[in-house]
Amino acid sequence: MLSLPVWADSRHVERVAAAEQFQETRKVAVVVGVEQYAPSISALKYAVDDAQLIAQALRLQGYTVQLQSTVK
């Protein structure tokens, strides 16, 4: 029979098991690429391209990716 520490109850064990399962099965990433912030700030020429490459690399690693970027 499994012996639990005094502080552990079955609900705690169930929550821990559910959290571990969630962590193992779900990978989510939000990637943001913004090239232009304000007129007083110089544009970032490759921010959107870089964000797209990062999103692609994350997808290859099994992530569900939400990509947000400014329009070129």
Residue 25, pLDDT score: 66
For 22-67, write each residue's pLDDT tens digit. 666 688 999 999 998 888 888 888 999 999 999 999 999 999 999 9
Q: Which two tokens stand for residue 47?
A: 């921010």
- pLDDT tier for residue 3 given thresholds of 50, 70 and 90: low
Residue pair 38/4 in contact (Cβ under 8 Å)? The answer is no
64-69/28-33 β-pairing: parallel
Residue pair 67/51 in contact (Cβ under 8 Å)? The answer is yes
- In the chain, what are the domain boundaries? 26-72
- Supply the pTM of this predicted model: 0.60
